[in-house]
Protein backbone atom coordinates (compact mmCIF):
# COMPACT_ATOMS: atom_id res chain seq x y z
CA UNK A 1 0.00 0.00 0.00
CA UNK A 2 1.28 3.48 -0.90
CA UNK A 3 2.10 5.88 1.90
CA UNK A 4 -0.64 8.44 2.49
CA UNK A 5 0.01 12.15 2.63
CA UNK A 6 -0.43 13.74 6.05
CA UNK A 7 0.26 17.05 7.72
CA UNK A 8 1.36 17.57 11.29
CA UNK A 9 -0.96 19.69 13.42
CA UNK A 10 0.59 21.33 16.48
CA UNK A 11 -1.45 23.17 19.09
CA UNK A 12 0.60 25.14 21.60
CA UNK A 13 -1.50 25.79 24.68
CA UNK A 14 -0.57 27.44 27.96
CA UNK A 15 -0.36 24.04 29.71
CA UNK A 16 0.02 21.36 27.05
CA UNK A 17 1.20 21.20 23.46
CA UNK A 18 -0.64 18.62 21.40
CA UNK A 19 0.59 17.13 18.11
CA UNK A 20 -1.04 14.83 15.60
CA UNK A 21 -0.69 13.48 12.07
CA UNK A 22 -3.82 14.26 10.08
CA UNK A 23 -4.79 13.12 6.59
CA UNK A 24 -6.59 15.19 3.93
CA UNK A 25 -10.00 14.06 5.22
CA UNK A 26 -9.29 15.16 8.79
CA UNK A 27 -8.56 11.71 10.17
CA UNK A 28 -6.05 11.85 12.97
CA UNK A 29 -3.64 8.91 12.53
CA UNK A 30 -1.60 9.45 15.70
CA UNK A 31 -1.71 12.02 18.43
CA UNK A 32 0.21 12.80 21.58
CA UNK A 33 1.09 15.68 23.83
CA UNK A 34 3.88 17.16 25.90
CA UNK A 35 3.77 19.73 28.70
CA UNK A 36 4.36 23.23 27.28
CA UNK A 37 6.51 24.31 30.28
CA UNK A 38 5.57 27.96 29.89
CA UNK A 39 8.79 29.22 31.52
CA UNK A 40 11.08 27.45 29.00
CA UNK A 41 12.41 29.22 25.89
CA UNK A 42 10.80 28.34 22.57
CA UNK A 43 13.92 26.42 21.46
CA UNK A 44 13.44 23.76 24.17
CA UNK A 45 9.75 23.36 23.36
CA UNK A 46 10.55 22.80 19.68
CA UNK A 47 13.31 20.31 20.56
CA UNK A 48 10.99 18.29 22.81
CA UNK A 49 8.25 18.59 20.18
CA UNK A 50 10.58 17.09 17.57
CA UNK A 51 11.41 14.15 19.85
CA UNK A 52 7.73 13.47 20.48
CA UNK A 53 6.85 13.71 16.78
CA UNK A 54 9.61 11.24 15.87
CA UNK A 55 8.30 8.91 18.58
CA UNK A 56 4.71 8.86 17.31
CA UNK A 57 5.91 8.70 13.68
CA UNK A 58 7.89 5.50 14.28
CA UNK A 59 4.96 3.03 14.27
CA UNK A 60 3.69 4.73 11.08
CA UNK A 61 7.05 4.48 9.24
CA UNK A 62 6.57 3.90 5.51
CA UNK A 63 2.81 4.36 5.78
CA UNK A 64 2.74 8.19 5.89
CA UNK A 65 4.44 11.00 3.98
CA UNK A 66 4.65 14.26 5.91
CA UNK A 67 3.84 17.19 3.61
CA UNK A 68 3.88 20.15 5.98
CA UNK A 69 3.43 21.42 9.51
CA UNK A 70 0.69 23.71 10.80
CA UNK A 71 0.89 25.36 14.20
CA UNK A 72 -1.81 27.04 16.26
CA UNK A 73 -0.33 29.32 18.93
CA UNK A 74 -1.37 32.43 20.85
CA UNK A 75 -0.39 35.76 19.19
CA UNK A 76 0.88 33.93 16.13
CA UNK A 77 1.48 35.93 12.96
CA UNK A 78 0.74 34.03 9.77
CA UNK A 79 2.68 36.38 7.50
CA UNK A 80 5.88 36.33 9.52
CA UNK A 81 5.72 32.81 10.99
CA UNK A 82 6.27 34.39 14.38
CA UNK A 83 4.77 34.33 17.85
CA UNK A 84 4.81 37.79 19.42
CA UNK A 85 4.67 38.24 23.22
CA UNK A 86 2.30 35.32 23.86
CA UNK A 87 0.19 36.01 26.98
CA UNK A 88 0.69 32.67 28.76
CA UNK A 89 4.24 31.84 27.75
CA UNK A 90 7.49 33.35 29.00
CA UNK A 91 8.91 33.66 25.47
CA UNK A 92 10.63 37.00 25.10
CA UNK A 93 9.60 39.40 22.30
CA UNK A 94 9.19 37.99 18.82
CA UNK A 95 10.00 34.30 18.28
CA UNK A 96 10.29 32.98 14.72
CA UNK A 97 8.56 29.71 15.43
CA UNK A 98 8.30 28.65 11.79
CA UNK A 99 12.08 29.05 11.34
CA UNK A 100 12.76 27.11 14.56
CA UNK A 101 10.63 24.20 13.35
CA UNK A 102 12.27 24.28 9.93
CA UNK A 103 15.64 23.57 11.56
CA UNK A 104 14.22 20.07 12.18
CA UNK A 105 11.97 19.66 9.14
CA UNK A 106 12.70 20.90 5.61
CA UNK A 107 8.97 21.31 4.92
CA UNK A 108 6.38 24.09 4.57
CA UNK A 109 5.47 25.42 8.03
CA UNK A 110 2.61 27.83 8.77
CA UNK A 111 1.54 29.34 12.07
CA UNK A 112 -1.60 31.21 13.08
CA UNK A 113 -3.70 31.72 16.18
CA UNK A 114 -6.05 28.98 17.37
CA UNK A 115 -9.23 30.76 16.23
CA UNK A 116 -8.00 31.03 12.65
CA UNK A 117 -6.85 27.41 12.79
CA UNK A 118 -10.30 26.41 14.04
CA UNK A 119 -11.91 28.23 11.10
CA UNK A 120 -9.73 26.38 8.60
CA UNK A 121 -10.48 23.11 10.42
CA UNK A 122 -14.21 23.74 9.98
CA UNK A 123 -13.69 24.57 6.29
CA UNK A 124 -11.66 21.46 5.48
CA UNK A 125 -13.26 18.86 7.73
CA UNK A 126 -16.17 20.36 9.66
CA UNK A 127 -19.34 22.43 9.59
CA UNK A 128 -18.08 24.87 6.91
CA UNK A 129 -17.15 22.21 4.34
CA UNK A 130 -17.67 23.72 0.88
CA UNK A 131 -18.39 27.20 2.24
CA UNK A 132 -16.46 30.23 1.02
CA UNK A 133 -17.76 32.86 3.45
CA UNK A 134 -18.15 32.09 7.14
CA UNK A 135 -17.05 33.12 10.61
CA UNK A 136 -15.96 30.86 13.47
CA UNK A 137 -16.46 32.22 16.97
CA UNK A 138 -14.63 30.46 19.80
CA UNK A 139 -16.41 30.99 23.11
CA UNK A 140 -13.69 29.96 25.55
CA UNK A 141 -12.24 31.96 28.43
CA UNK A 142 -12.20 34.79 25.89
CA UNK A 143 -13.86 35.16 22.50
CA UNK A 144 -11.69 34.25 19.52
CA UNK A 145 -12.72 34.54 15.89
CA UNK A 146 -11.59 33.42 12.47
CA UNK A 147 -13.02 34.93 9.30
CA UNK A 148 -13.06 33.32 5.86
CA UNK A 149 -14.14 35.52 2.92
CA UNK A 150 -14.29 34.33 -0.68
CA UNK A 151 -12.59 31.07 0.32
CA UNK A 152 -9.57 32.80 1.86
CA UNK A 153 -8.66 33.32 5.49
CA UNK A 154 -8.83 37.01 6.38
CA UNK A 155 -5.44 37.89 7.94
CA UNK A 156 -5.56 41.63 7.31
CA UNK A 157 -2.64 43.94 6.63
CA UNK A 158 -0.58 42.72 9.59
CA UNK A 159 -1.79 39.14 10.15
CA UNK A 160 -3.92 40.05 13.18
CA UNK A 161 -7.43 40.33 11.67
CA UNK A 162 -10.33 38.51 13.33
CA UNK A 163 -10.45 40.12 16.77
CA UNK A 164 -14.26 40.18 17.00
CA UNK A 165 -13.87 39.53 20.74
CA UNK A 166 -12.52 43.06 21.00
CA UNK A 167 -15.30 44.87 19.18
CA UNK A 168 -16.94 47.26 21.60
CA UNK A 169 -20.35 46.65 23.14
CA UNK A 170 -20.24 49.69 25.42
CA UNK A 171 -17.29 52.10 25.75
CA UNK A 172 -18.19 52.54 29.43
CA UNK A 173 -18.73 48.82 30.01
CA UNK A 174 -16.79 46.03 31.71
CA UNK A 175 -13.01 46.28 32.08
CA UNK A 176 -11.30 43.97 29.57
CA UNK A 177 -7.95 42.17 29.81
CA UNK A 178 -6.85 44.29 26.83
CA UNK A 179 -6.97 47.44 28.96
CA UNK A 180 -10.11 48.94 27.42
CA UNK A 181 -13.75 48.71 28.43
CA UNK A 182 -16.83 46.99 27.09
CA UNK A 183 -15.22 44.49 24.69
CA UNK A 184 -17.55 41.76 23.44
CA UNK A 185 -15.49 39.05 25.17
CA UNK A 186 -16.17 40.59 28.59
CA UNK A 187 -19.83 39.58 28.00
CA UNK A 188 -19.86 36.71 25.51
CA UNK A 189 -17.39 34.10 26.73
CA UNK A 190 -17.10 31.59 29.55
CA UNK A 191 -15.71 34.29 31.84
CA UNK A 192 -18.18 36.89 30.53
CA UNK A 193 -21.24 34.85 31.47
CA UNK A 194 -19.79 34.41 34.99
CA UNK A 195 -19.56 38.20 35.29
CA UNK A 196 -23.15 38.46 34.04
CA UNK A 197 -24.25 36.08 36.80
CA UNK A 198 -22.66 38.34 39.42
CA UNK A 199 -24.47 41.36 38.00
CA UNK A 200 -27.77 39.52 37.93
CA UNK A 201 -27.33 38.26 41.50
CA UNK A 202 -26.76 41.86 42.56
CA UNK A 203 -29.70 43.20 40.61
CA UNK A 204 -32.39 40.58 41.14
CA UNK A 205 -33.94 38.94 44.17
CA UNK A 206 -34.82 35.46 42.87
CA UNK A 207 -33.44 32.36 44.54
CA UNK A 208 -30.57 30.78 42.64
CA UNK A 209 -28.31 27.84 43.37
CA UNK A 210 -25.48 30.04 42.11
CA UNK A 211 -25.82 32.20 45.24
CA UNK A 212 -24.00 29.35 47.01
CA UNK A 213 -20.96 29.39 44.73
CA UNK A 214 -18.05 31.72 45.36
CA UNK A 215 -17.28 33.93 42.32
CA UNK A 216 -13.80 32.39 42.23
CA UNK A 217 -15.25 28.90 41.73
CA UNK A 218 -18.04 29.80 39.33
CA UNK A 219 -17.79 28.22 35.84
CA UNK A 220 -19.87 28.50 32.70
CA UNK A 221 -20.55 24.76 33.01
CA UNK A 222 -22.17 25.34 36.44
CA UNK A 223 -24.33 28.07 34.90
CA UNK A 224 -25.40 25.77 32.07
CA UNK A 225 -26.21 22.99 34.52
CA UNK A 226 -28.22 25.36 36.73
CA UNK A 227 -30.09 26.72 33.70
CA UNK A 228 -30.86 23.13 32.69
CA UNK A 229 -32.48 22.67 36.12
CA UNK A 230 -34.59 25.79 35.52
CA UNK A 231 -32.58 28.25 37.62
CA UNK A 232 -34.07 31.66 36.70
CA UNK A 233 -30.85 33.65 37.14
CA UNK A 234 -28.81 31.17 35.12
CA UNK A 235 -31.38 31.19 32.30
CA UNK A 236 -31.42 34.99 32.31
CA UNK A 237 -27.61 35.02 32.05
CA UNK A 238 -27.83 33.02 28.81
CA UNK A 239 -30.51 35.41 27.54
CA UNK A 240 -28.27 38.43 28.27
CA UNK A 241 -25.26 36.71 26.66
CA UNK A 242 -27.28 35.82 23.56
CA UNK A 243 -28.67 39.35 23.32
CA UNK A 244 -25.24 40.96 23.33
CA UNK A 245 -23.62 38.30 21.11
CA UNK A 246 -26.52 38.39 18.63
CA UNK A 247 -26.39 42.18 18.42
CA UNK A 248 -22.66 42.27 17.73
CA UNK A 249 -22.75 39.33 15.31
CA UNK A 250 -25.34 41.32 13.31
CA UNK A 251 -22.56 43.90 12.85
CA UNK A 252 -20.20 41.13 11.68
CA UNK A 253 -22.81 40.01 9.15
CA UNK A 254 -23.18 43.62 7.91
CA UNK A 255 -19.44 43.62 7.22
CA UNK A 256 -19.03 40.17 5.72
CA UNK A 257 -22.38 38.61 4.76
CA UNK A 258 -21.26 35.10 5.75
CA UNK A 259 -23.17 31.94 4.82
CA UNK A 260 -22.77 30.71 8.40
CA UNK A 261 -21.48 31.61 11.82
CA UNK A 262 -20.08 28.66 13.74
CA UNK A 263 -20.03 28.77 17.54
CA UNK A 264 -17.26 26.72 19.05
CA UNK A 265 -15.68 26.14 22.48
CA UNK A 266 -16.75 25.66 26.08
CA UNK A 267 -19.72 28.01 26.21
CA UNK A 268 -21.01 26.75 22.83
CA UNK A 269 -21.30 23.31 24.42
CA UNK A 270 -24.29 24.68 26.36
CA UNK A 271 -26.23 24.02 23.12
CA UNK A 272 -29.72 25.51 22.80
CA UNK A 273 -29.17 27.53 25.99
CA UNK A 274 -26.75 29.76 24.07
CA UNK A 275 -27.74 29.10 20.43
CA UNK A 276 -31.45 29.97 20.84
CA UNK A 277 -31.11 33.49 22.31
CA UNK A 278 -28.09 34.28 20.09
CA UNK A 279 -29.98 33.28 16.94
CA UNK A 280 -33.12 35.20 18.01
CA UNK A 281 -31.25 38.43 18.77
CA UNK A 282 -29.05 38.04 15.69
CA UNK A 283 -32.13 37.84 13.44
CA UNK A 284 -33.78 40.73 15.25
CA UNK A 285 -30.79 42.97 14.58
CA UNK A 286 -30.01 41.93 11.01
CA UNK A 287 -30.52 44.29 8.11
CA UNK A 288 -33.49 43.04 6.02
CA UNK A 289 -31.39 41.72 3.14
CA UNK A 290 -29.55 39.38 5.55
CA UNK A 291 -32.54 38.06 7.53
CA UNK A 292 -33.16 34.29 7.52
CA UNK A 293 -30.05 33.67 5.45
CA UNK A 294 -27.21 33.23 7.94
CA UNK A 295 -26.88 29.80 9.57
CA UNK A 296 -25.81 29.64 13.20
CA UNK A 297 -24.09 26.26 13.55
CA UNK A 298 -22.23 24.21 16.13
CA UNK A 299 -18.74 22.99 15.30
CA UNK A 300 -18.53 20.02 12.94
CA UNK A 301 -15.21 18.93 14.42
CA UNK A 302 -15.03 16.15 16.95
CA UNK A 303 -14.45 17.47 20.44
CA UNK A 304 -10.99 16.71 21.84
CA UNK A 305 -8.50 17.08 19.02
CA UNK A 306 -10.11 20.11 17.34
CA UNK A 307 -7.08 22.33 17.86
CA UNK A 308 -4.78 19.78 16.22
CA UNK A 309 -7.23 19.36 13.34
CA UNK A 310 -7.34 23.13 12.92
CA UNK A 311 -3.57 23.42 12.90
CA UNK A 312 -3.29 20.61 10.36
CA UNK A 313 -5.98 22.29 8.21
CA UNK A 314 -3.94 25.50 8.19
CA UNK A 315 -1.09 23.83 6.34
CA UNK A 316 -3.35 21.67 4.16
CA UNK A 317 -5.05 24.91 3.06
CA UNK A 318 -1.67 26.39 2.07
CA UNK A 319 -0.54 23.20 0.31
CA UNK A 320 -3.81 22.97 -1.63
CA UNK A 321 -3.48 26.61 -2.76
CA UNK A 322 -0.08 25.88 -4.32
CA UNK A 323 -1.21 22.62 -5.94
- Based on the number of CB atoms within 10 Å of its own CB, is 60 exposed (0-12), middle (13-18) or buried (19 or more)? middle
Instruction: Tell me which of 250, 296, 314, 319 binds its own copies, using CB under 8 A.
Output: 250
Q: Does 87 bind its own copies (CB under 8 A)?
A: no
| CA-closest candidate to residue 314, choices 118, 103, 140 | 118
**Stretch touching its own copies by CB under 8 A, among 51-59, 101-109, 164-172, 206-214:** 164-172
> Quick check: helix, strand or coil at residue 252?
helix
CA separation for the pair 314, 293 (Å, rounded): 28
Please report whether residue 255 would count as binding its own copies according to CB under 8 A: yes
Cβ contact 158:186 at 8 Å: no
Sign of the dihedral defined by the CA atoms of residues 22, 26, 31, 35, in that order: positive
> What whole-number distance in Å separates Cα of residue 228 and Cα of residue 58?
46
CB atoms within 10 A of CB 141: 17
Q: Is 158 in the site for its own copies (CB under 8 A)?
A: yes
Choices 44-52, 212-220, 283-291, 304-312 (CB under 8 A): range interacting with its own copies: 283-291
Q: Which listed range, 18-26, 105-113, 152-160, 210-218, lies at the site for its own copies (CB under 8 A)?
A: 152-160
| 74 binds its own copies, rule: CB under 8 A | no
Sheet holding 295-298, edge to edge: 152-153, 143-149, 134-139, 260-264, 295-298
155 binds its own copies (CB under 8 A): yes
**Residue 277 found at the interface with its own copies (CB under 8 A):** no
- Tell me the DSSP string of 49-62: HHHHHHHHHGGGTT
Q: Of these, 9, 26, 74, 258, which contacts its own copies (CB under 8 A)?
A: 258
Identified binder of its own copies from the candidate list 130, 150, 202, 292, rule CB under 8 A: 150
290 binds its own copies (CB under 8 A): yes
CB closer to its own copies out of 13 and 162: 162
The yes or no reply on residue 147 touching its own copies (CB under 8 A) is: yes
Q: Which residues bind its own copies (CB under 8 A)?
A: 131-134, 147, 149-150, 152, 154-164, 166-168, 171, 178-180, 247, 250-252, 254-259, 285, 287-290, 293
Amino acid sequence: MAAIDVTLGVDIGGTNTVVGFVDREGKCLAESSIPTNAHEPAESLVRRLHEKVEEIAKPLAGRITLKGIGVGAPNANFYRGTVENPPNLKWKGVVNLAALIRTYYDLPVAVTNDANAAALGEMLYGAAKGMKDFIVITLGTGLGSGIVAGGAMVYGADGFAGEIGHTIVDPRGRVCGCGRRGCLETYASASGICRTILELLAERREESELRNVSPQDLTSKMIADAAGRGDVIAREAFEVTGRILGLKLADSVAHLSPEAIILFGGLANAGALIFEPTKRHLEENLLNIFKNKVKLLPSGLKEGNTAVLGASALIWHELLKVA
